[in-house]
Chains A and B, each alone.
Chain A
Amino acid sequence: MSQSPLSNKKASASPDGGFRQAMTWLHTWVGLTLGWVLFLIFVTGTAGYFDTEIDRWMQPELPFVEAPLSALETANVVRARLEQEAPQAERWYINLPAGRNQLYPSVFWQGASEEAGASSARGRLTLDSKTGETLTPRDTGGGQTLYQMHWRLHYLGRGYSDWIIGLATLFMMVGLVTGIIIHKKIFVDFFTFRPGKGQRSWLDAHNFFSVFALPFHLMITYSGLLFMGFSLMPLIVASHYGDEGRRQFFAEVFDPPGIVDAANTPAPLVPFTSVIHQAEQRWGQGRVQVVDVHHPQDASARVVLYESIDQTVSTSGERLVFDGVTGDLLHTEPTDASMVKHVRDVFLGLHEGLFAGTALRWLYFLSGVLGTGMVATGLILWTTKRRKTAERKPGRTHRGLVLVEKLNIGTIAGLPAGMATYFWANRLLPVNMAGRGEWEIHILFLTWLAMLLYAALRPRLKAWQELLAATGVLFATLPVLNALTTERHLLHSLKSGDWVFAGFDITVFVIGVGFVFAAYRVRSSRLSDLQKPHKPKSTAVKVSKLQDTTGGAV
């Protein structure tokens, strides 16, 4: 790495430069402060790349999806249902099955009139695309709750979680930039991993996780910041729209053009036939993702069709706005109506990876795993260096060190264990239990809490070994649990070509084996430590040498 101009002043005095020292300090403490939050963000975000697949595994009642009907047929089936279920509504929002993200049609409505026979003013249903009947799978948090935890931390309101997540993302960005600055041998050590050498190996691993997926890490962190833009920089909107103008700003930026208030004069809603036909001519068969009807059965009705986003990296496709009575095309809103919004949508799209097909989705997942590894090894590195120093000095170990070690064990092994019990709860809680979906997630957090307590009470290496093993067993036995509690066991899935179920079973098994292997490695190193209670003297020399070569980067 070339020396930054800022470091030139001190460069002559000390070969390392005060700048790099300062950056090292920043990297160390910024990484530690919100490290566990970042670990949670990375773990749940990585799982979130397979949110729909997890949803499906967690609702085994839902049928295996065959080839979907045409958009028009499905839309008509759903419409017939909505006319009964939600007459005189303000809005019908119909999500058509198109691509991976939506397997069954689902609807959302608001402002329906209960006097006119609506089942409720607002509601949400998943339907069978042929019969229009409601599909009633078990209540579950599903992959969506895991993915929502990624940015909402579950129990906190948006007022708190936005700031915590925003701050964590900022810290992550600082961690990445300072990490690049202090990594002196980014090219020389590119392919170097030296296993079995204690702290040296942890640093190699940390570099490996960070450098190999660096484009991903930079993209994911920067786009993460863009997600939080409205929260982190509210004054920019406020300065143009005033304190109360936030809603107006969002409407101007995100709502399609040409939506007007209800005229309160009844008028029949145009048949979907010509509307969907026009859209499919423009976008291709089966590429209508959403039919969004504003004020159905009103004189000022508008039908907005959203293009599927499977052919763009961006989060938004084209939108067509039709008159809901005459069926005339009123507006065509292109994807890049505003350059600024387009740039934002592309970054957000890259972050979410909704465009990614199976192969690319796995690579996203892999990059997420690397990010998780980066945070985990970073947290462990903080302790290994201080543990070495503490062992050389007689007297009590520093309380801060012990605290960080315990939190590391309880989180790095404990949070994945929580996720495993979340899946266990999905299969074992009674299907008709009230608040079932919420309890699944309570069990996730309770398990994590139990793991933290366990880590606090046990000796360090034993706690690592036992918790990693427990997590591994919980994951690896999930396919067995699935086979015992549903009809859709691994062999059945493989035979019927249900790759979502098979993929889930195989993946959790591999994850489980990985954790058990980690536990085994901890055990071996613990036993070899026991055999030679007095460390060889050369360790101290090695550590100081290591600090020379890394510029104290650990």
Chain B
Amino acid sequence: MTVSGLVLTLCLVGVSAMTCLCLAMKRHAFELANTGGALPLSGKRLRCLGWLLIVSMFVFAVIFQGWSFGLVSALACLTLAAMVVIMTVTYYLPWLARLGVVSAILAAILLMVG
């Protein structure tokens, strides 16, 4: 897998993870419910899933790039992912859950292809 491919995958996993963590919070789950959205998972499970994705992101990064490069890439991608999620929460809330699912699927495809 090329470096750019890896960074893209990491960002996608990061977006997925951050979406889970965001929707695991009562405030944002409530906001989503107000717009008519429903969550398939409870808060606790979402939180676990989110953290699991973050851990897996770091594991991928370290496997592909080694400790030093991997940690830098993973942290940087997590920052970008968090930005994408906060923008979506603020301005496109109904799209958030879909964003999380789609980026997870894309990341899986990239991993299988690369």
State A191–B79 Cα separation when bound (angstroms).
Answer: 12
Pair B89/A360 contact, Cβ less than 8 Å: no
Residue A375 CB within 8 A of the other chain: no
Known: A191-B89, A193-B86, A363-B80. A215 touches B68 (CB 8 A): no
Contacting A at CB under 8 A, from B57-107, are 68-69, 72-73, 75-77, 79-80, 82-83, 85-86, 89-90
Give which listed residue, A208, A215, A359, A360, contacts B86 with CB less than 8 A: A208
Residue A367 CB within 8 A of the other chain: yes
User: Closest CB-CB distance, A225 to chain B, in whole Å?
Assistant: 19
Q: Which residues of A contact B85 (CB under 8 A)?
A: 191
Pair B4/A358 contact, Cβ less than 8 Å: yes
Known: A360-B73, A364-B76. A193 touches B90 (CB 8 A): yes
Pair A346/B77 contact, Cβ less than 8 Å: no
Pair B79/A363 contact, Cβ less than 8 Å: yes
Contacting B at CB under 8 A, from A340-366, are 346, 350, 355-360, 363-364, 366
State A370–B69 Cα separation when bound (angstroms).
Answer: 21
Pair B79/A360 contact, Cβ less than 8 Å: no
Pair B86/A313 contact, Cβ less than 8 Å: no
Give which listed residue, B3, B69, B75, contacts A215 with CB less than 8 A: B75
Q: Which residues of A contact B7 (CB under 8 A)?
A: 359-360, 363
State A346–B72 Cα separation when bound (angstroms).
Answer: 12
Residue B52 CB within 8 A of the other chain: no
User: Closest CB-CB distance, A196 to chain B, in whole Å?
Assistant: 10
State how many residues of chain B have any CB contact under 8 Å with chain A.
Answer: 25
Residue B22 CB within 8 A of the other chain: yes
Residue A228 CB within 8 A of the other chain: no
In the complex, what residue of chain A is closest to B26 when comparing beta carbons?
A188
State A208–B7 Cα separation when bound (angstroms).
Answer: 22
Give which listed residue, B27, B75, B89, contacts A216 with CB less than 8 A: B75
Give which listed residue, A188, A358, A363, contacts B77 with CB less than 8 A: A363
Residue A192 CB within 8 A of the other chain: yes
User: Closest CB-CB distance, A357 to chain B, in whole Å?
Assistant: 5
In the complex, what residue of chain B is closest to A194 when comparing beta carbons?
B90
State A238–B85 Cα separation when bound (angstroms).
Answer: 51
State A190–B79 Cα separation when bound (angstroms).
Answer: 12
State A215–B69 Cα separation when bound (angstroms).
Answer: 15
Q: Which residues of A contact B18 (CB under 8 A)?
A: 191
Give which listed residue, B3, B79, B82, contacts A357 with CB less than 8 A: B3
A182-216 contact mask (Cβ, 8 Å, vs B): 1 or 0 = 00000010111101000000000000100011011
Residue A70 CB within 8 A of the other chain: no
In the complex, what residue of chain B is closest to A215 when comparing beta carbons?
B75
User: Closest CB-CB distance, B64 to chain A, in whole Å?
Assistant: 13
In the complex, number of A-B residue pairs with CB atoms less than 8 Å apart? 68
State A360–B22 Cα separation when bound (angstroms).
Answer: 25
Pair A313/B69 contact, Cβ less than 8 Å: yes
Q: Which residues of B contact A191 (CB under 8 A)?
A: 18, 21-22, 25, 28, 82, 85-86, 89
Pair B79/A367 contact, Cβ less than 8 Å: yes
User: Closest CB-CB distance, B77 to chain A, in whole Å?
Assistant: 7
State A313–B72 Cα separation when bound (angstroms).
Answer: 9
In the complex, what residue of chain A is closest to B8 when comparing beta carbons?
A359
State A190–B22 Cα separation when bound (angstroms).
Answer: 8
User: Closest CB-CB distance, A8 to chain B, in whole Å?
Assistant: 29
State A195–B86 Cα separation when bound (angstroms).
Answer: 12
State A357–B80 Cα separation when bound (angstroms).
Answer: 17
Known: A193-B90, A357-B3. A367 touches B69 (CB 8 A): no
Pair A363/B89 contact, Cβ less than 8 Å: no
Q: Which residues of B contact A188 (CB under 8 A)?
A: 25, 27
Residue A113 CB within 8 A of the other chain: no
State A259–B21 Cα separation when bound (angstroms).
Answer: 57
Q: Which residues of A contact B82 (CB under 8 A)?
A: 191, 212
Which of B18, B22, B68, B76 has most A Cβ within 10 Å? Answer: B76
Q: Which residues of A contact B3 (CB under 8 A)?
A: 357-360
Known: A357-B3, A359-B7, A360-B73. A192 touches B80 (CB 8 A): no
Pair B79/A212 contact, Cβ less than 8 Å: yes
State A188–B27 Cα separation when bound (angstroms).
Answer: 9
User: Closest CB-CB distance, B35 to chain A, in whole Å?
Assistant: 15
User: Closest CB-CB distance, A311 to chain B, in whole Å?
Assistant: 9
Residue A312 CB within 8 A of the other chain: yes
Give me the 6 closest cross-chain CB pairs, A-B, nearest first: A363-B76, A359-B7, A313-B68, A191-B22, A359-B4, A193-B90
Known interface pairs A191-B22, A216-B76; 6 further A-B residue pairs with C-beta atoms within 8 A, sorted by A's residue number: A188-B25, A312-B68, A350-B72, A355-B69, A360-B73, A366-B83
Chain B positions within 8 Å of A, measured between CB atoms, are: 3-4, 7-8, 18, 21-22, 25, 27-28, 68-69, 72-73, 75-77, 79-80, 82-83, 85-86, 89-90
Q: Identify 5 residue pairs between A and B in the complex whose beta-carbon atoms are under 8 Å apart, listed by A's number.
A: A190-B25, A191-B85, A313-B69, A359-B7, A367-B76
Chain A positions within 8 Å of B, measured between CB atoms, are: 188, 190-193, 195, 208, 212-213, 215-216, 312-313, 346, 350, 355-360, 363-364, 366-367, 370
